[in-house]
Structure 1
């Protein structure tokens, strides 16, 4: 009964977060490179832009992002990325510095908020991204965080994810237009293929301090799948119309090619599916 009460309260927190976020007025603020930051602090007040913080000692490290505008998608590569269109996010929010790890997931399981420890495919757990989680599993983790911290955690919208991944850049990847060598975990990203996930933070971060936004594991977002961006929201909100049995995934993964790791690449999967290539990161509303 206690968890049901907490569950209801968390839903109210999340709903309030969307209402307040929608009322932001700082659209189009300039974006910049994140400054070199000290270790994450336990949040006691509203975090500053690009500040790393945690809401509890065992919670994921978050990076606060400012409002801003960017061009989402592309016009020249793949149909699902078209048309390129302006998106203006008029509210601040925070996104996970890393993909959620097995260690972080285990805390949720021990606390009764998540069902079980998923199979690690024999690769080990610890700081590796949690895998074999469905879309609903990922949402359950975010809900548990909301209850635990009295904050509003959720999955990112597709637009929020791309805004964070691009980090003010317009190139194919957050570092440029070529994949290079040793910059990400994918099938053709290194001289020797890893054939498995890597611990989060194994590669350099993007300009805003986020790790593994290109490769390692696919990341669930809130959005329903649509085959292109015609009619998509332009305010950062999730697109909740379309083929909602399928949800959008971003980032690419260790077993996909570099072309699938760009900031604009989008993919779908049945929300009920779990796989050794699928994980997630969370977003936290900032009021």
Structure 2
């Protein structure tokens, strides 16, 4: 095929103001060249241009601030990473406008379920307007590496939670809460919940959860999906290695669950034997609520009987069976079932059994 002589090739130097810029091209023209690359449809080109903009003083800084409004989440966070350590007063206002944060307390407990620490944390999120006054808050989950599964020393471990293995999870966004009836209704047009409360999580089949993600994609253009099983456990643990992100145990002061296993405290009455409003209990260090108890949450994976041969990159595991993975336990679960590493394998067409939260890649 004959090359178009009017288009830059991969390693060509191009003048600022050219509309088509190859990813590896050297761009000339100072600020005009940076502006040109920021107009590119290629996310990697935009991010490279932001780093170059720092060379051009206030004019370059202004371009980086504008990038906080970019339609790409990845570009917005690249701009944020370049600006976050600067102390100009107007930057904090820009962050809250385009990359808002929320603050919360992170609690840990001792083996008897008594609070032994409380620290103030914050997390970034972006709001997604679902219509009808409903907003989906998507919390930034930083990438990292963790040990997935239960250790051999855990007396409550099950065979399908082993072998414990290292997994590296890229950064992504996850919904702050399980999807609620108020969030479901504008997109799906029905109410699948057996409780008529807008802030209670919906309980649907795996296929229905996936259809919700598909409709979100159609409405927003972002590739919404269910969390993979690895992403779910990583997000639930939020940097912890204990059975629960609170510590070695949970109580009904912290989690909506049914009753205790031997060795787990059980000191207050049941929560009406039904799901509670999302956000009724303290979050983990990533700012995610109700990762233990309240409702089970569907993951994208087809289940593996154990972790032999499971992915180590945070992606979904695939087999040929019709069973999916659910995580987190629910309001009727024993405490031991609500552990970060507990796995429930369920037929994907089972209705009214699982809630879910949604994810989107940080590179979208």
Q: Tell me whether the two structures share a fold, i.e. TM-score over 0.5.
A: yes
Between structures 1 and 2, the one with greater helix share = 2
Q: Verify the 8 A CA contact 2:210 2:225 in the aligned structure 1.
A: yes
User: Corresponding residue for 1:262?
Assistant: 339
Cα deviations across residues 80-110 of structure 1 (Å, max 9, x unaligned)? 1111100012x32101110000000011124
User: Corresponding residue for 1:66?
Assistant: 142
TM-superposed CA distance for 1:286, in Å, is 1.6
Going from structure 1 to structure 2, the CA distance change for 1:201 and 1:44 (only over 3 Å counts) comes to closer
- Give secondary structure in 2 for the equivalent of 1:279: coil
Structure 2 residues without counterparts, runs of 5 or longer: 1-92, 101-121, 260-265
User: Corresponding residue for 2:318?
Assistant: 240
Q: Does 1:186 align with 2:186?
A: no
User: Corresponding residue for 2:327?
Assistant: 250
- In 2, the alpha carbon distance for the partners of 1:171 and 1:218 equals 20
Where do 1:30-69 residues align within 5 Å? 50-56=123-129, 58-69=134-145
The alignment of Structure 1 onto Structure 2 pairs a total of residues equal to 235
CA-atom RMSD in angstroms? 2.1
Q: Verify the 8 A CA contact 1:181 1:191 in the aligned structure 2.
A: yes
Q: Does 1:143 align with 2:214?
A: yes
Between 1 and 2, higher relative CO (CA 8 Å, sep ≥ 6) is seen in 1
- Give secondary structure in 2 for the equivalent of 1:193: coil
> Between Structure 1 and Structure 2, whose CA radius of gyration is higher?
2
- Give secondary structure in 2 for the equivalent of 1:70: strand
- In 2, the alpha carbon distance for the partners of 1:92 and 1:64 equals 8
User: Corresponding residue for 1:75?
Assistant: 151
Structure 2 length-normalised TM: 0.61
Structure 1 residues without counterparts, runs of 5 or longer: 1-37, 111-115
Structure 1 length-normalised TM: 0.77
- In 1, the alpha carbon distance for the partners of 2:97 and 2:245 equals 28
Where do 1:87-98 residues align within 5 Å? 87-89=167-169, 91-98=170-177
TM-superposed CA distance for 1:43, in Å, is 5.6
- In 1, the alpha carbon distance for the partners of 2:305 and 2:318 equals 13
Q: Verify the 8 A CA contact 2:206 2:354 in the aligned structure 1.
A: no
- Give secondary structure in 2 for the equivalent of 1:179: coil
